[in-house]
Amino acid sequence: MASKKEIVKVKIGKTDKRSYSGNGKLNSRNGHDVIVVGASAGGIEAFGKLLKDLPADLPAAILMVIHTSPQSPYVLPKILNRAGTLKVLERLNDGHPLRPGHVYVAPPDVHLLTERGQVRLISGPKENRHRPAIDPLFRSAAYEYGERVIGVLLTGNLDDGTSGLMAIKERGGIVVVQDPKDALYPDMPRNFLEQQKADYCLPLSEIGPLLAKLVKERGKKGKAKPVSKRLEIENGIAKLKPTNLDQMEVLGKPSSLTCPECDGGLWEIKEGKKLRFRCREGHAYSGESLIEGQSESVETALWAAVRALEERVTILQRLASQARERKHSHTEAIFEQKRRELEPAAKTIRAMLGKIPR
């Protein structure tokens, strides 16, 4: 446990949260000492370039999320360790302390969060169909550190990270977005810029030098903003805290839609100019990611229907053959008639599968 000298209280809304300082740990008096970075497609190259442009004595901790497959090996930290001079942890455990000059990369199939000067690795509900996802990390940093946070959104498809950046901006942190014209995949930065104005929108080559400058600046007094009830609830969901109907109604209103992940009812959340959706179990979607999730559900249901129909056709063929061997012509005709009725239905559904938009 940290000594009293190692703890500084930071007022957040109506309650006090603790963050660690001293002995090489985070120090709120240094200003912007927590940097969170998110990317998707094209992110490995972007992360490497960003770290290459940062100094070894950076007085801030960096937490990074890139969308990865659950089956992916945890090799990205080793790759990024070759990119620059900052220390990228190649083994990451839940509860690992955050330290300036260190980089923490989300492992596959867990959300990377931060809480009270530590790393949290939690198998919470998927957001935008991903785990790890960018929004949970950004929200946790906004919740814990407020104006001390710098949020960075780089190349990627769809719009994970937009909601999290809005939370960072709401709490007084700094928002940096890669110029969509410079991004290999421009959707993620462009989707945020359609919602809100970034503090900085730059080519990737200029983001590293900017961060090195920003972390040396002290935060402006009076800039801290309280935690909203929505941020408190959504940050809790990422940590697997149960939600009740009253909390869901704080987030939004019930919709007639169902969650592609668990079939639970979805709540419609109005955020900025766009809608988001979240079920009571915690799965969260932007409008775009919900469409993708529903497309997968439709495809899965259609394949199940094809399988069931074709299996029934096979069984009817065998029963008809068995009836024919026993010279039960009436029974054989019944089975053959049912088979002929089912075969076109299976072929029709197979044809539909080739027409589902991707």
231 within domain boundaries: no
Split at pLDDT 50, 70, 90, the class of 219 is low
Is 303 found in the same domain as 249? no
- Given 40, 140, 163, 286, the catalytic residue: 40
Indicate whether 195 and 340 sit together in one domain.
no
- Asked if 204 and 301 sit in the same domain, the reply is no
Annotated active-site residue in 33, 159, 160, 187: 160
Q: What is the pLDDT of residue 3?
A: 36
Task: Name the pLDDT band for 50 (thresholds 50, 70, 90).
Answer: very high
The answer to whether residue 96 is catalytic is no
315 in the same domain as 255: no
Per the structure, how many domains does the chain have? 3
The residue annotated as part of the active site, out of 19, 21, 67, 289, is: 67
Q: Identify the band that residue 186 occupies on the pLDDT scale cut at 50, 70 and 90.
A: very high
Could you tell me if 181 and 320 lie in one domain? no
Residue-range definition of the domain harbouring residue 329: 290-353
Q: Are residues 30 and 139 in the same domain?
A: yes
Q: Is residue 239 part of a domain?
A: no
Give per-residue burial for 199-208: e unless 16+ CB within 10 Å, then b: bbbbebeebb
pTM of the model: 0.81
What confidence tens digit (pLDDT) does each residue in 123-153 have?
A: 999 999 999 999 999 999 999 999 999 999 9
Task: Tell me which of 214, 233, 253 is where a domain ends.
Answer: 214
228 within some domain: no
pLDDT at 231 over 60: yes
Strand partners, 274: 271
- Regarding whether 253 and 325 lie in a shared domain, the answer is no
* Residue 111 near residue 99 (C-beta atoms within 8 A): no
- Examine residue 232 and state whether it is found in any structural domain, yes or no: no
Q: Please give the C-alpha separations between residue 222 and each of 123, 146, 169, in angstroms, as whole numbers.
A: 36, 12, 15
Q: Are residues 167 and 103 in the same domain?
A: yes
Same domain, 168 and 90: yes
* 322 shares its domain with 296: yes
* 236 occurs within a structural domain: no
Residues 278 and 294 grouped into a single domain: no
159 among known catalytic residues: no
Residues 344 and 254 in one domain: no
Q: Supply the CATH number for residue 185's domain.
A: 3.40.50.180
109 is catalytic: no
